[in-house]
Amino acid sequence: MLVKYCMKREFYTLDVNDPVRRAVQLLKKHRVCILPVLDGQKLEGVVTERGLRKALGLERAFEKLEQWSAVDPETRVSEVMTRDPITISPDSSLEDVVRVLIEAKIPGTPVVDAQGAVVGIITQTDLYRVLLATSGFMEKGAQFAFELEDRPGSLKEVTDIIRKHGGRIACILTSYETAPPGFRHAYVRVFALEADKVSDLSKELSSKAKLIMGAPAQV
């Protein structure tokens, strides 16, 4: 999936000459984690609460706007912003975003097009939403986890059983990381499964593969 399909297209920005108090107000009132700072249409920097506290020499986060009243009203955003911020293209993959956010240890980043215009914002929260949607957890249903032989057809054998019992598959995720050599772990999210069929389905699945999780989350 590409960034342009899951980024926020409506976002708040700051001007380089805005007072810092406006940045604080936007961060707190709208509960955003990052604010692009513009000079005209050009991206000059970003403001985050963490960066703001560091620039102002504050040791901890303030939960209420009133607690920031000591901030000098004459201080401008240009004095405290993070310059030359990390950005990402709208045509980048979500894998690229995850790598950038992890390596830079930042909560989000502006999305900038080929002309240098800020066209969106993408944050960790946006990535969590995508994960929930693509993993099928937005659907009511059950998740089954298997330890399957790493051979062609092993996954199809268990999904055919699920379909035979009337289950519809929302998502399949597989991993070799925690599986023993010669095996893989498969996580299958199933919905439209009648509650009274879960027990029989689990028994049949267990006869075909090692079932490491089969309790329904919600059916």
User: Going along the chain, which residue ranges are E strands?
Assistant: 14-15, 35-39, 42-47, 82-83, 108-112, 118-123, 142-149, 168-175, 183-191, 210-213
Residue type, 5: Y
CATH 3.10.580.10 domain span(s) along the chain: 3-132
**Single-letter residue type at 63:** E
CA 213 to chain centre: 25
Per-residue pLDDT reduced to its tens digit, 169-197: 888 889 998 899 999 999 998 887 777 77
pLDDT attached to residue 1: 83
Cα 144 from chain centroid (whole Å): 23
Q: What is the pLDDT of residue 119?
A: 96
Note the pLDDT of residue 202.
86
Reading the block at residue 44, the tokens are 């000059």
- Burial class of residue 88 (count of CB atoms within 10 Å of its CB; 0-12, 13-18, 19+): buried
| Strand, helix or coil for residue 120 | strand
Which pairs with CB-CB distance under 8 Å and at least 24 residues apart come from 64-68? 64/28, 65/24, 65/25, 65/28, 65/29, 68/21, 68/24, 68/28
Distance between CA atoms of residues 155 and 69, nearest Å: 60
pLDDT band, residue 68 (cuts 50/70/90): low
pLDDT, residue 67, reads: 57
Asked whether the predicted pLDDT for residue 219 surpasses 50, the reply is: no
Considering the four listed CATH numbers 3.40.50.1100, 3.30.390.50, 3.40.50.300, 3.30.70.260, the one that applies to the domain covering 142-213 is 3.30.70.260
Is the confidence at residue 63, as pLDDT, over 60?
no
Residue 218: pLDDT over 50:
no
The answer as to CATH 3.10.580.10 being correct for domain 3-132 is yes
* Cα–Cα distance for residue pair 113/2, rounded to 1 Å: 13
> How much is the mean pLDDT over the chain?
85
Q: What is the pLDDT of residues 124-166, one digit of tens each?
A: 999 988 887 776 666 667 888 999 999 999 999 999 999 988 8
Q: Which of 56-65, 72-81, 144-153, 173-182 has the lowest mean pLDDT?
A: 56-65
Three-state SS for 78-91 is HHHCEECCCCECCC
- What does the pLDDT read at residue 139? 61
pLDDT of residue 124: 92
The stretch 47-66 carries a mean pLDDT of: 70
- 177: which residues sit within 8 A by CB, 6+ positions away? none
Percent of the chain with pLDDT over 70: 88
Query: Is the pLDDT score of 216 beyond 60?
Result: no
Tokens of 73: 């009203």
Q: CATH 3.30.70.260 in the chain, residues?
A: 142-213
pLDDT reported for residue 184: 94
* Residue 215 reports pLDDT greater than 50: no
* Sheet with 210-213: strands ordered across: 168-175, 183-191, 142-149, 210-213
**What pLDDT score was predicted for residue 27?**
86
